[in-house]
């Protein structure tokens, strides 16, 4: 596994990915071997079925949406660069990065970008607003509904969605824009909650 992986990934590519995403060399190689192990068709790209083969994702309420987030708009296959780009959102924010040159383009794992990722999970139609319906969809996915006797009805969910939007909405358009989203979560430690430690 290891030798095959590094032979297929050229050095220049690794360098480029490193620059773009900020992962270290060994992290990239390790993730590449993961990529290839998921890529059963061995064509260098992953399709949705490849992701769906991961059993734990089937029992994740947001699994399918997250899979979707890997695929750029309208496409059905994602290559390794795209894979890394998405994963890069979850790199922990290192301290030295915080002092970086503010004029440089925002690194992929900055707070804003992390929040953008989360926002886009809700906002399927990409109109930069989370409407009540979209919120409700997500709520429905995340809520216990089938246990006997403990069900939450749709009105209740609807009222929760309404209240949530009320709390966040500032300009009164009954939906949450990205800025409102950011504002609502300003107290939440997004850097920590949206980061996983990638292995070296």
Partner 1 sequence: MPALWHSTFFLVIVLLAISRPSLASQAGNDDLQMGTEHRTYKGTENGTTNLITTLPIVTWNWQEIQFPYLVALWILVSWLCKLMLQLNPSLTSVIPESGLLICIGWVLGGIIYWADKVQTFRLQPFIFFYYLLPQIVLDSGYSMPNKLFFSNLGSILVYAVIGTCWNAATLGLALWGCWLGGAIGGIDIGLLQLLLFGSLIAAVDPVAVIAVFEEVHVNEVLYILVFGESLLNDGVTVVLFNVFNAFVSLGGAKINAVEIIKGIISFLVVAFGGSLVGVIFGLLISLLTRCTKNIQIIEPGFVFVLGYLCYLTAEMLSLSSILSCTFYGVCCQKYINANMDERSVSTVRYVMKVFANGSETIIFVFLGITAIDPSIWVWNTAFIFLTLLFIFVFRFIGVFFLTWILNQFRLVPLEFIDQVVMGYGGLRGAVAYGLVVSLDEKKYKEKNMMISTTLLVVYFTVMLQGITMKALVNWLKVKRAAQTERTLAEKIQNRTFDHILVAIEDISGQIGHNYMRDKWNNFEERWLYWLLMTPSARKSCDHIFNIFHKLNLKDAMSYVKEGERRGSLAFIRKETKIDVDFYKKFGANFSEMMPYIMTENMGSDHVPVSSILWDSMPSVCLDMHEQDLKMRESEDVNAHHLLQQHLYKGKKQHRHRYSRKHLEVNKDKNEVQEIFQRTMMSRLESFKSAKIGVTPPKKITNHLKKDQPQKMPNGKSTDNSKSHAYGDEDGEFSEGDSASGCEAADGSFPMRACRGAGIVNPAFNAEMDPMPPMQQIPPWLAATEVDSSAVVPSQRAQLRLPLTPSVRSSPRGHD
Query: Given the complex with partner 1, which of 100 and 142 has the nearer CB atom?
Result: 142
Part in contact with partner 1 (CB under 8 A); list of ranges 3-11, 13-21, 99-107, 149-157: 149-157
Tokens of 132: 């009540």
**Distance between CA atoms of residues 120 and 178, nearest Å:** 9
| 163 touches 155 (CB < 8 A) | no
Strands 129-130 and 45-47: unpaired
Q: Does residue number 164 form part of the binding site for partner 1 (CB under 8 A)? A: yes
Positions 175 through 194 that interact with partner 1 (CB under 8 A): 176, 184-185, 187-188, 190, 193-194
In whole angstroms, the minimum distance from the beta carbon of 128 to partner 1 comes to 15
Name the phi and psi angles at 176, rounded to 5: -105, 120
Which H/E stretch holds residue 97? helix 95-98
**Distance between CA atoms of residues 40 and 80, nearest Å:** 14
Positions 32 through 61 that interact with partner 1 (CB under 8 A): 34, 37-38, 48, 51-52, 54, 56-61
| 177 touches 171 (CB < 8 A) | yes
Positions 80 through 139 that interact with partner 1 (CB under 8 A): 87, 90, 118, 121, 124-125, 132-133, 136-139
Tokens of 99: 């002092």
Q: Does residue number 150 form part of the binding site for partner 1 (CB under 8 A)? A: yes
Part in contact with partner 1 (CB under 8 A); list of ranges 7-15, 31-39, 98-106: 31-39
Part in contact with partner 1 (CB under 8 A); list of ranges 7-15, 63-71, 93-101, 104-112: 63-71
């Amino acid at each position: 596994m290891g030798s095959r992986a590094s032979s297929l990934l050229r050095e220049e590519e690794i360098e480029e990915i490193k620059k773009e995403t900020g992962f270290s060399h060994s992290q990239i190689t390790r993730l590449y071997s993961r990529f290839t192990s998921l890529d059963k068709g061995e064509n260098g790209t992953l399709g949705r079925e490849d992701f769906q083969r991961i059993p734990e994702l089937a029992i994740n309420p947001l699994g399918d949406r997250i899979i979707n987030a890997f695929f750029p708009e309208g496409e059905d296959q994602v290559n390794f660069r795209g894979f890394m780009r998405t994963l890069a959102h979850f790199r922990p924010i290192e301290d030295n990065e915080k002092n970086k040159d503010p004029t440089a383009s925002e690194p992929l794992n900055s707070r804003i970008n992390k929040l953008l990722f989360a926002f886009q999970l809700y906002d399927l139609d990409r109109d930069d607003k989370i409407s009540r319906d979209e919120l409700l969809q997500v709520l429905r996915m995340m809520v216990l509904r089938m246990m006997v006797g403990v069900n939450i009805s749709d009105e209740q969910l609807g009222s929760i969605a309404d209240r949530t939007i009320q709390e966040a909405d500032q300009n009164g358009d009954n939906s949450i824009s990205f800025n409102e989203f950011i504002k609502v979560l300003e107290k939440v430690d997004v850097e920590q909650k949206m980061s996983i430690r990638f292995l070296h």
